């Protein structure tokens, strides 16, 4: 019996993606070769990379708008370094919104490159809300934000209006909701939260923001080099790219990001309604900033933990424990999570209430 996987990542994927990826490991594209052993320069995989790049832009409604999609390696953490290398001018300035652990890590990597200004932070409140009143200096080379905070369960609902290029880490909510993605000059997302297996990172960058820093950028860290080589400057993570493509095809076949967003809103509404209704539980994140992807909550009485843990584990639920920074519970309800699994969790919460 397959479990209800609420783990924050590596995330669950649609069943049909698992099945197609598994088949490709045995026999990819009727080549009688595995996806794991074909040349990344073969026409079969070049077609995969081209379709993945094009489909990423299509799902974000950025086709023919001056953007390039790249599939790179190193995770989002590598982009923390690539971004200042490529966007912060010599003696320049970068601005960051500090909304969680990963935003903090991005800030740390930018500091050696120049003036790094934190325009606002919710750190003193253990990141349980998204700061909203802040000013972005007009002389900044870019503004960096994190759209969804996996650990703390907060999500940006609005993004600032500014002439400064906006860079956004969308690792844990990519393709989960409709936005005007043309507001962003660079978007990046580690695949393993909501798009595919660990091993590749999607970077969508507007070409006209590049090559303006006067820095000497190592080729491996240079976005322009990766664009010129079509994400194949070095051997790409073939399986991770292929599985990400399968997931993007699944999203398109579901009706695109708009249709997926509707399902995500229904799942989140179901779970948050129970958290707010049930006197045994309370949410962690500010209600206005609650994430559609990562729902954080705690028991009002820690003495009920043993009984609740037994309930959800006996109902084949996995990965529900909260991050050590927050405690309690975290239900990650990414795109592939069926609403039926969310209902199982809600039923466990109701059953605990009836037993107490």
Q: Are residues 184 and 269 in the same domain?
A: no
Task: Spell 28-47 as b/e; 16+ CB within 10 A means b.
Answer: bbeeebebeebebeeebbee
- 232-286: pLDDT as tens digits: 999 999 999 999 999 999 999 999 999 999 999 999 999 999 999 999 999 999 9
Between 181 and 1, where is the model more confident? 181
- Where residue 330 sits, what CATH number does that domain have? 3.90.1150.10
Does a structural domain hold residue 171? yes
246 φ/ψ angles, rounded to the nearest 5 degrees = -60, -40
Cα 55 to Cα 29, 50, 61, 76: the distances in Å are 19, 8, 10, 20
In the predicted structure, residue 62 carries a pLDDT above the cut 90: yes
Point out the domain boundary residue: 217, 235, 254: 254
Active-site option among 98, 141, 169, 289: 169
Stretch among 1-5, 20-24, 348-352 having the lowest mean pLDDT: 1-5
Distance (Å, whole) CA 17 – CA 13: 7
- 17-41: pLDDT as tens digits: 999 999 999 999 999 999 999 999 9
The domain in which residue 153 lies consists of 15-254
Mean pLDDT of the chain: 96
Q: Are residues 191 and 321 in the same domain?
A: no
Confidence (pLDDT) at 201: 98
Mean pLDDT of 193-206: 96
Q: Are residues 282 and 225 in the same domain?
A: no
Confidence (pLDDT) at 356: 85
- 135-160: pLDDT as tens digits: 999 999 999 999 999 999 999 999 99
Distance (Å, whole) CA 102 – CA 80: 9
Based on the residue annotation, tell me whether 139 is a catalytic residue of this protein: no
pLDDT bucket at 1, cuts 50 / 70 / 90:
low
Does a structural domain hold residue 4? no
Q: Are residues 221 and 291 in the same domain?
A: no
Based on the residue annotation, tell me whether 193 is a catalytic residue of this protein: yes
Active-site option among 102, 173, 267, 312: 102
Percent of the chain with pLDDT over 90: 97
Active-site option among 68, 141, 193, 267: 193
- Where residue 128 sits, what CATH number does that domain have? 3.40.640.10
Does a structural domain hold residue 318? yes
Point out the domain boundary residue: 201, 222, 254: 254
Distance (Å, whole) CA 348 – CA 299: 13
Point out the domain boundary residue: 254, 272, 304: 254
Q: Are residues 104 and 208 in the same domain?
A: yes
DSSP string, 291-307: -SSEEEEEESSGGGHHH
Based on the residue annotation, tell me whether 169 is a catalytic residue of this protein: yes
50 φ/ψ angles, rounded to the nearest 5 degrees = -65, -45
| Number of domains the chain contains | 2
């Amino acid at each position: 019996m397959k479990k209800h996987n609420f783990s924050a990542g590596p995330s669950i994927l649609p069943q049909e993606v698992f099945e197609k990826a598994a088949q490709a490991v045995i026999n990819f594209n009727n080549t009688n070769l595995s996806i794991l052993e074909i040349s990344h320069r073969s026409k079969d995989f070049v077609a995969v990379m081209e379709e993945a790049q094009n489909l990423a832009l299509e799902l974000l409604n950025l086709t023919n708008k001056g953007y390039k999609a790249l599939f790179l390696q190193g995770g989002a953490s590598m982009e923390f370094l690539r971004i200042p290398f490529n966007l912060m001018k010599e003696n320049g300035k970068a601005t960051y919104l500090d909304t969680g652990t990963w935003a903090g890590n991005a800030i740390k990597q930018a500091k050696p490159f120049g003036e790094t200004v934190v325009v606002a932070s919710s750190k003193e409140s253990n990141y349980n809300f998204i700061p909203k009143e802040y000013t972005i200096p007009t002389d900044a080379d870019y503004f960096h934000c994190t759209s969804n905070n996996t650990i703390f369960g907060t999500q940006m609902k609005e993004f600032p209006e500014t002439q400064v290029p906006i860079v956004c880490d969308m690792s844990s909510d990519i393709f989960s909701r409709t936005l005007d993605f043309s507001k962003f000059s660079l978007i990046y997302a580690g695949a393993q939260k909501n798009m595919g297996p660990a091993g590749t990172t999607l970077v969508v960058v507007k070409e006209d923001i590049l090559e303006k820093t006067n820095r000497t950028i190592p080729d491996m860290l240079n976005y322009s080099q990766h664009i010129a080589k079509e994400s194949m400057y070095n051997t790409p993570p073939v399986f991770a790219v292929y599985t990400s493509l399968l997931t993007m095809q699944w999203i398109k076949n579901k009706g695109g990001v708009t249709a997926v967003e509707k399902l995500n809103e229904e799942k989140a509404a179901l779970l948050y309604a129970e958290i707010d209704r049930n006197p045994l539980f309370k949410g962690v994140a500010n209600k206005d900033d609650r994430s559609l992807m990562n729902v954080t909550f705690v028991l009002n009485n820690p003495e009920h933990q043993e009984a609740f843990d037994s309930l959800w584990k006996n109902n084949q639920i996995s990965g529900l424990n909260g991050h050590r920074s927050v405690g309690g519970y975290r239900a990650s309800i990414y795109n592939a999570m069926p609403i039926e699994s969310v209902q199982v969790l809600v039923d466990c919460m109701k059953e605990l209430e009836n037993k107490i």
